[in-house]
């Protein structure tokens, strides 16, 4: 039985690697040509604190971003909310809400919603370029995640996430679907060694449509005609994550130190190498830090992202009841994370997690 599950793990990993190789085939001319880049923003405060390095050890609803297979580790029921001030001070705000529910010893389902708002932006036109004379508009980016995770054994866990993506302004919009899939493998006397693979944002190309693409033209005979321009389709920002982590466990004060590494192969951006560590005390307090590296990140003339690499965060969990036997103890957790950026200000995230 264990040998059969090991073969399943190898097969799924191979399919994931071959799929992403097909997705990123080509040359560097494709870099920066994808759309729906909000799918690459981690909205969850906890995992963002160490750069999303936890492909191998993500757990609960937060795993919807890094590796949906981690949803299989949900205790019973979880509700989570997170708010991110993206490049703090510039008006972009990200709100995310998630809910997960265990159905059986092996099956867990979940749903997560992420929305990005930019506030009110003044409308300017060629004829009226002054701000404040034409009103405002409010773009919005929105996606819904429906997740399912299954434990094939005590060591092998898998999951799939179906996402509906919506991008819109007042008179132009685009909508599409993408899929994430992932696996996690756990081994060791205390399950201290973990391996994970996730393939994200696989789906058909999107294109915009709506009244905002229509123009009224007058032909040579003085007849007015409405002509709709065609929007160029854009592809999803596909990426593959491969991660490893190891837990150093200490009996005194129930301490844990997790060291993790992750490689992210981006189809339309530079590849990332992520390192991170998390320290836990009494399962009540965690502090974490990470660094996201990509080629040229240390030089302003070659860096192609506003993110400069360092991340940090902390979590404080409050038990809401005394432990009785093997029953899940309800907890209320508070998360905070920071992601550095330049020339913009860094991004701050706060979150609340309820387990019951």
**CA 60/CA 143 separation, integer angstroms:** 19
Asked if pLDDT for residue 120 goes beyond 90, the answer is: no
**CA 206/CA 165 separation, integer angstroms:** 9
Residue 88 φ then ψ, to 5°: -45, 130
Question: With bands split at pLDDT 50, 70 and 90, how would you rate the model's confidence at 17?
Answer: low
pLDDT of residue 132: 67
Q: Which has the closest alpha carbon to 50: 195, 226, 259?
A: 259
**CA 247/CA 195 separation, integer angstroms:** 12
Q: Give the position of tokens 């297979």.
A: 69
Asked if pLDDT for residue 221 goes beyond 80, the answer is: no
Q: Which has the closest alpha carbon to 207: 179, 167, 180, 171?
A: 167
- How many residues in the chain? 356
Which residues does residue 262 pair with via DSSP β-bridges, in sequence order?
A: 243, 274
Mean of pLDDT over the chain = 89
- Global pTM? 0.88
Residues near 66 by beta carbon (within 8 Å), at least 6 away in sequence? 42, 47, 52, 54, 55, 58, 198, 241
Q: Which has the closest alpha carbon to 79: 46, 111, 49?
A: 111
pLDDT of residue 3: 53
pLDDT of residue 28: 62
For the ranges 2-6, 306-310, 320-324, the lowest mean pLDDT is seen at 2-6
- Residues 62-97, buried b or exposed e (16+ Cβ, 10 A)? bbbbbbbbbbbbbbeebebbbbbbbbbeeebebebb
Residues near 145 by beta carbon (within 8 Å), at least 6 away in sequence? 64, 98, 110, 111, 112, 113, 114, 161, 162, 163
Question: With bands split at pLDDT 50, 70 and 90, how would you rate the model's confidence at 207?
Answer: very high
Asked if pLDDT for residue 10 goes beyond 80, the answer is: no
Residue 126 φ then ψ, to 5°: -65, -40
Q: Which has the closest alpha carbon to 78: 336, 285, 331, 349?
A: 331
What the chain holds in terms of domains, given with CATH numbers, is 2-207+238-355 (2.40.160.40)
Peptide bond into 343 cis (omega under 30): yes
pLDDT of residue 223: 84
Question: With bands split at pLDDT 50, 70 and 90, how would you rate the model's confidence at 29?
Answer: low
pLDDT of residue 133: 73
**Do the Cβ atoms of 243 and 58 come closer than 8 Å?**
no
Residues near 188 by beta carbon (within 8 Å), at least 6 away in sequence? none
CA atoms within 13 Å, Cβ hemisphere of 135: 3
**CA 91/CA 345 separation, integer angstroms:** 12
Residues 46-52, mean pLDDT to the nearest whole number? 97
Residues 55-61, mean pLDDT to the nearest whole number? 97
**Do the Cβ atoms of 21 and 169 come closer than 8 Å?**
no
pLDDT of residue 27: 47
Q: What percent of the chain shows pLDDT beyond 70?
A: 90
For the ranges 93-97, 129-133, 341-345, the lowest mean pLDDT is seen at 129-133
**CA 127/CA 142 separation, integer angstroms:** 32
């Amino acid at each position: 039985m264990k040998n059969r599950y090991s073969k399943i793990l190898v097969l799924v990993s191979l399919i994931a690697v071959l799929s992403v190789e097909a997705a990123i085939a080509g040359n560097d001319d494709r870099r920066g040509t994808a759309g729906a880049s909000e799918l690459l923003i981690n909205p969850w405060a906890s995992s963002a604190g160490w750069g999303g390095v936890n492909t191998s050890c993500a757990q609960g609803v937060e795993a919807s971003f890094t590796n949906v297979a981690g949803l299989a580790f949900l205790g019973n029921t979880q509700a989570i909310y997170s708010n991110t001030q993206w490049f703090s001070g510039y008006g972009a705000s990200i709100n995310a809400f998630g809910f997960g529910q265990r159905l059986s010893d092996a099956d867990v389902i979940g749903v997560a919603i992420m929305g990005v708002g930019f506030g009110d932006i003044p409308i300017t036109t060629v004829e009226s370029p002054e701000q404040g004379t034409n009103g405002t508009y409010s773009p919005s980016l929105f996606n819904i995640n429906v997740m399912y995770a299954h434990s094939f054994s005590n060591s092998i866990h898998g999951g799939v996430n179906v996402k509906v993506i919506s991008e819109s302004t007042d008179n132009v919009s685009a909508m599409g679907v993408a899929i994430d899939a992932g696996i996690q493998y756990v081994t060791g006397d205390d399950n201290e060694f973990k391996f994970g693979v996730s393939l994200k944002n696989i789906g058909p190309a999107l294109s915009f449509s709506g009244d905002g693409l229509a123009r009224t033209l007058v032909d040579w005979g003085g007849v007015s005609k409405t002509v709709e321009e065609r929007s160029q389709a854009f592809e999803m920002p596909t990426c593959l994550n491969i991660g490893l982590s190891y837990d150093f466990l200490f009996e005194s004060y129930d301490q844990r130190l997790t060291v993790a590494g992750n490689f992210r192969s981006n189809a339309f951006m530079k590849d990332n190498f992520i390192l991170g560590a998390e320290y836990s005390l009494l399962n009540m307090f965690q502090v974490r830090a990470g660094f996201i590296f990509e080629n040229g990140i240390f030089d302003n003339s070659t860096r192609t992202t506003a993110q400069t690499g360092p991340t940090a965060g902390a979590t404080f969990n409050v038990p809401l009841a005394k432990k009785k036997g093997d029953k899940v103890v309800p907890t209320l957790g508070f998360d905070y994370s920071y992601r550095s950026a330049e020339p913009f200000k860094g991004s701050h995230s706060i979150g609340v997690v309820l387990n019951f």
